[in-house]
């Protein structure tokens, strides 16, 4: 493929991955800013409850957004779905900055809807515009943007004041929540005036074959070459029209359905959400210094961003299945180590931060980076929103239940639980998952449906 066309695919994919950036930023922004929001909204002694509640409202919104994505994308197009998530981002950002519980909660839900759309749209959008040999590397943009958004929210949190002042910095937390709206405006612009065509797959589904060829030419060059149709699987991907009832109820698709539900579930049960949502609070409870806690949280966010690049090395030498299952095993071991540090060393702040950072690095450079590429390759497009819904359902459960479980059981037992879940996931993956590296989507589908 010509260098200019390769660059265009990367540029196109990066722009659609900004929806995932919005998800990552919204996912992390309350972690370092929770004390400032608490003061502004007068949470007082109810701080723990409101923190859990407002952290959970985001994934609840994500469930709504993810379930809406398939209908919007298939009815009005992938581009209009990108427009929709941008509008929800702008609304959610502006409503969040009003210092009232009701407006802050509504803003979190609207931001969650946008985030769910962004995370659901990117996997199959990228698969539809990329040749097979580029899918894994370009697909890594999904988690690269997630890590960048999360890390930036953590780093912006370092600038938050540690006590009330007469400075304009007292409103820094409001800027932090407004920031995603600027990215949303860019998405509106670039998909309105630069990427003016939808994906070839969408035009094929709507039987607009002239635009399908134009869309092919936009990303692949001369569209008269028949092999281009094969590269994005327009003709061979027959499963896209499979009815939901058949996907959910037929034995043939049982393993494919299991992958779409269990893999995202394992992502939430590996312990990563403790670092994502509550690292600042955990480290503050240990150190008693909110500034140090925010700095250490920012360090974890920076570690997450740079660890993302590790996937480019791993995908060259290892298969998707290998990366997924052995990262689960490694994270399970690290969760056990964290639990031991919590009980034996009395939860020292720096050893605990190091283990949390290693856990985040392993997760980011392997499981998280390849998960949605694998799901995009191995399940019917209609099951992607179900996969995202599974992710956010368990995200709600873990996010709301983590502080309560820590209070009732102790943090070491919670992390022992995460470790056991990750090791069970390793065994399940060894037995069920199919390697997808180098295979077309049709061959992957056949591997799952025939083995059922």
Upper half-sphere CA count for residue 439 (Cβ side, 13 Å): 20
- Walk me through the domains of the chain, giving residue ranges and CATH numbers: 3-196+236-451 (1.20.1250.20)
Q: Between 309 and 382, whose confidence is greater? A: 309
pLDDT at residue 108, rounded to an integer:
95
130 phi and psi, to 5 degrees? Answer: -110, 140
pLDDT band at 182 (very low <50, low <70, confident <90, very high): very high
pLDDT at residue 171, rounded to an integer:
87
* CA gap 202, 215 in Å, rounded: 10
Q: Between 48 and 327, whose confidence is greater? A: 327
pLDDT higher than threshold 70 for residue 345:
no
pLDDT at residue 222, rounded to an integer:
58
pLDDT at residue 74, rounded to an integer:
85
pLDDT at residue 1, rounded to an integer:
53
In percent, how much of the chain has pLDDT > 70? 85
pLDDT at residue 440, rounded to an integer:
65
- The 10s digit of each residue's pLDDT in 205-253 is 888 878 888 887 777 765 445 455 444 444 444 444 565 565 666 666 6
Mean of pLDDT values over 52-76: 88
pLDDT at residue 439, rounded to an integer:
65
For the chain, give the mean pLDDT: 82
Across 48-62, 130-144, 315-329, least confident range = 130-144
- What would the two tokens of residue 114 be? 């946008």
- The 10s digit of each residue's pLDDT in 432-447 is 887 877 666 667 766 6
Helix axes 47-75, 78-96, angle to 10 degrees: 160
Helix axes 141-157, 368-378, angle to 10 degrees: 150
Give the pTM.
0.78
Q: Between 450 and 265, whose confidence is greater? A: 265
pLDDT higher than threshold 90 for residue 314:
no
Radius of gyration for the chain, computed over Cα atoms and rounded to the nearest angstrom: 22
Other Cβ atoms closer than 10 A to 443: 12
pLDDT at residue 232, rounded to an integer:
45
pLDDT higher than threshold 80 for residue 385:
no
For residues 202 and 73, is the Cβ–Cβ distance under 8 A?
yes
Alpha-helical segments (H) within 194-289: 200-205, 209-220, 227-231, 244-249, 254-268, 272-287
pLDDT band at 98 (very low <50, low <70, confident <90, very high): very high
Q: Between 343 and 366, whose confidence is greater? A: 366
């Amino acid at each position: 493929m010509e260098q200019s066309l390769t660059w265009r695919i990367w540029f196109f994919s990066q722009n659609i991955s900004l929806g995932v950036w919005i998800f990552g930023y919204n996912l992390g922004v309350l972690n370092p800013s929770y004390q400032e929001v608490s003061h502004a909204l007068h949470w007082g002694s109810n701080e723990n409850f409101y923190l859990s509640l407002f952290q959970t409202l985001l994934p609840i919104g994500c469930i709504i957004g993810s379930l809406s994505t398939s209908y919007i994308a298939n009815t009005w197009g992938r581009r209009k779905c990108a427009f929709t998530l941008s509008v929800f981002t702008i609304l959610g950002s502006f409503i969040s900055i009003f210092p009232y519980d009701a407006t802050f909660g509504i803003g979190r839900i609207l931001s969650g809807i946008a985030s769910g759309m962004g995370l659901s749209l990117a996997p199959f959008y990228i698969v539809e515009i990329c040749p097979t040999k580029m899918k894994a590397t370009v697909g890594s943009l999904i988690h690269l943007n997630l890590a960048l958004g999360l890390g930036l929210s953590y780093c912006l949190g370092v600038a938050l004041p540690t006590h009330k002042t007469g400075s304009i910095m007292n409103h820094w937390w409001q800027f932090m929540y407004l920031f995603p709206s600027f990215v949303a405006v860019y998405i509106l612009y670039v998909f309105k005036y630069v990427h003016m065509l939808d994906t070839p797959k969408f035009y094929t589904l709507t039987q607009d074959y002239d635009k399908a060829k134009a869309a092919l030419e936009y990303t692949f060059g001369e569209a008269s070459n028949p092999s281009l149709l094969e590269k994005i699987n327009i003709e061979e991907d027959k499963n896209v029209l499979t009815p939901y009832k058949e996907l959910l109820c037929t034995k043939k698709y049982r393993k494919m359905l299991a992958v779409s539900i269990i893999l995202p579930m394992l992502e939430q049960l590996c312990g990563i959400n403790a670092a994502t949502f509550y690292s600042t609070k955990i480290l503050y409870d240990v150190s008693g210094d909110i500034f140090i806690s925010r700095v250490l949280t920012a360090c974890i966010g920076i570690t997450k961003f740079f660890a993302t690049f590790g996937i480019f090395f791993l995908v060259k030498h290892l298969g998707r299945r290998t990366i997924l299952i052995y990262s689960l095993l490694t994270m399970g071991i690290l969760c056990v180590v964290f639990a031991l540090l919590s009980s034996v060393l009395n939860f020292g702040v720096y050893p605990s931060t190091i283990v949390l950072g290693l856990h985040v690095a392993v997760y980011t450079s392997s499981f998280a980076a390849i998960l949605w590429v694998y799901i995009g390759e191995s399940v019917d497009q209609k099951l992607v929103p179900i996969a995202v819904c599974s992710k956010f359902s368990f995200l709600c459960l873990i996010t709301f239940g983590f502080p309560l479980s820590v209070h009732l059981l102790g943090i070491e037992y919670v992390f022992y639980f995460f470790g056991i879940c990750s090791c069970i996931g390793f065994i399940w993956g060894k037995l069920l998952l199919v390697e997808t590296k180098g295979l077309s989507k049709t061959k992957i589908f056949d591997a799952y449906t025939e083995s059922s």
